[in-house]
């Protein structure tokens, strides 16, 4: 019985970890900061990302942002409808809904909340 419980727990936690992914930015830190001033963000998603998968979740956020998706490069460009703290947090929620746990900028991989604080949060 203990073995069974351990097996179930192992499978559960392995499944959770497998669902989390890291995406990347084609831009360096300075470029991300420059684009962030306009509310525009770019992320490169993994090879298995499809337009259909993104649209399933993005349709809930159309009041907050629009996006384009390049299937060949897997590049997602996100633009706010109205740039605000709330809109940027919704963009972050979209990433979380897509099982994104980190964003690589240059050689540094940042957790979502750190990426938000460093690049997405509107500063005075």
Question: Where on the phi/psi map is residue 3: left (φ > 0), alpha (ψ -120 to 50), or beta?
Answer: alpha
Tens of pLDDT, residues 56-83: 999 999 999 999 999 999 999 999 999 9
DSSP-derived secondary structure for 43-68: EEPPTT--HHHHHHHHGGGTTTEEEE
Tens of pLDDT, residues 86-105: 999 999 999 999 999 999 99
Q: How many residues does the chain have?
A: 124
- Output the six-digit token pair for 48: 């298995």
């Amino acid at each position: 019985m203990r073995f069974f419980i351990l097996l179930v727990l192992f499978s559960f936690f392995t499944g959770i970890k497998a669902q989390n992914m890291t995406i990347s930015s084609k831009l360096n830190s300075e470029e991300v900061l420059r684009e962030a001033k306009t509310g525009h963000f770019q992320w490169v998603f993994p090879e298995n990302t499809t337009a259909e998968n993104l649209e399933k979740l993005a349709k809930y956020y159309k009041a907050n942002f629009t996006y384009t998706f390049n299937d060949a490069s897997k590049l997602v460009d996100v633009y706010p409808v109205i740039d605000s703290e709330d809109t940027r947090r919704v963009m972050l929620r979209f990433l979380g809904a897509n099982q994104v746990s980190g964003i690589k900028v240059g050689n540094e991989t940042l957790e979502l909340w750190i990426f938000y604080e460093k690049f997405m949060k509107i500063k005075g």
